[in-house]
Amino acid sequence: MGESTQVDVIIKLGGSSITEKEQLETLKLESLRQAAALVHTCVRQGLVCVIVHGAGSFGHHHAKKFGINDGSSHLPPESQAQSRIGFCQTHLAVTKLSHLVSDCLVENGVPAVTVSPCSTWKTRNGAVETSCIQPISDLVLQGFVPVIHGDCVLDSCKGSAILSGDTIIKCLCSHYSVSRVVFLTDVDGVYNNPPECEGSTLLSCISVSPNRHLNVDIGTSKNECDVTGGIMLKLQSAIDIVLNSKGLTPVFVCKIGSESAKEACCDGKITSKSGTVLHLENS
C-alpha cells in the first residue's frame, strides 16, 4: 500500500471516552458499544477504517508507577529489572483493553484485528525511529479493520518509552492518504476554555494557519481548573495532521456516541450543534 492508498477515516477512541480514567482498568462499556456500532455503520457503507485507541486507566497507572516514559538505561541493574516488569505490566494492561475493544467490534460485526506496536515500533528519545506499517496495510487490503493502540516500546536512547495513539495516527497519516481523522472524546468537542469552567463555549470550527496559529485562543485546563486532560497535546497532533496533509486531512473532535461523531465519521462533515473540526485556513 503506497502513499496514494486511500483510508477514509482513522477513528481515535480516546482513553477518557472508553475507560474511567480515575478507576484502574475500568471500561466504559456503553460508550465502547456505541463506538463499535458506529464503526460497523462506516464499514457497511464501504468506508476503509483504521481504529486507534488510547490506554486510559489500562496502562497509564503502570506506566506512571514504573516511569516507563523516563526510560530505564540510566537505572542501576536491580531497578532495570523492576522497570522491565513494569514495561510488561503496562503492555499487558493495554493489550487487555485492546482485546476488549476488538471483542466489542467483532461482536458488532466489524472484522477487527489488534496490531500491537510494542514489539515492532521503536522510538529514539520518544520520537518514532521505526514504524511498522505493513501489517496494517495488509489487513486493510484484505478487508479487515486494524486496531492499533498506544503502547510501551523500546527506545534506542533511553531504553523504553510510551508511544501514544496520537503519534501513531500522525505516522499513519504520513503513509496513507487519509480523508479524515476523528478523535472521539468524553466532551462535545474543543472549547475555548475547559468545558467545566463557567462560560466556556464549544468551538465548531478551528482554522489552522501554515505557521501553526489558530484563529481562536484556547484555554487549557491545568492552570484554570484542576483537570489533567492533555487536550493541548491532542490539538498539537491535530494541527500537525492538518498541516502535513496540506489541508487534505481535516481533524474532527466529537463526543463518543453523539450525532456529530456519526456525521464526522460517515460523511466527513458536521451539521449538528456539537463537535469541532480543525482545517487549514481558507480551505
Sites of contact with ligand ATP (CB under 6 A): 14-17, 54, 165-166, 185-187, 190-191, 193-195, 218-221, 227, 229-231, 234
Distance of closest approach, residue 162 Cβ to ligand ATP, in angstroms: 11
The residue written with cell numbers 463518543 in the block is: 256
Q: Which of residues 54-73 bind ligand IPE (CB under 6 A)?
A: 54-56, 59-60, 63
Distance of closest approach, residue 15 Cβ to ligand IPE, in angstroms: 2
Residue 159 · residue 124 · CB < 8 Å: no
Distance of closest approach, residue 81 Cβ to ligand IPE, in angstroms: 20
User: Whole-angstrom Cα distance, residue 251 to residue 254?
Assistant: 10
User: Whole-angstrom Cα distance, residue 260 to residue 273?
Assistant: 8
Please choose, out of 31-39, 48-56, 132-140, 240-248, the segment that lies near ligand IPE by the rule CB under 6 A: 48-56
The set of residues, in sequence order, having a beta carbon less than 8 Å from that of 213 and lying 6+ positions away, is none
Among residues 56 and 194, whose Cβ is nearest to ligand IPE? 56
Please choose, out of 101-109, 147-155, 189-197, 220-228, the segment that lies near ligand IPE by the rule CB under 6 A: 147-155
The set of residues, in sequence order, having a beta carbon less than 8 Å from that of 280 and lying 6+ positions away, is 207, 208, 210, 242, 243, 246, 247
17 binds, among ligand ATP, ligand IPE, none (CB under 5 to 8 A by kind): ligand ATP
| Residue 268: its H or E element | none
Output 77-85 pairs: Cβ under 8 A, ≥24 positions apart: 80/159, 83/159, 83/160
Candidates 164, 237, 274, 276; binder of ligand IPE (CB under 6 A) is: 164
Residue number with the smallest Cβ distance to ligand ATP: 14
Q: State the binding string over 75-114 for ligand IPE (x if CB under 6 A, else -).
A: ---------------x---x--------------------
User: Whole-angstrom Cα distance, residue 167 to residue 171?
Assistant: 6
Task: Name the phi and psi angles at 6, rounded to 5.
Answer: -90, 125
Binding site for ligand IPE (CB under 6 A): 14-15, 54-56, 59-60, 63, 90, 94, 150-152, 162, 164-166
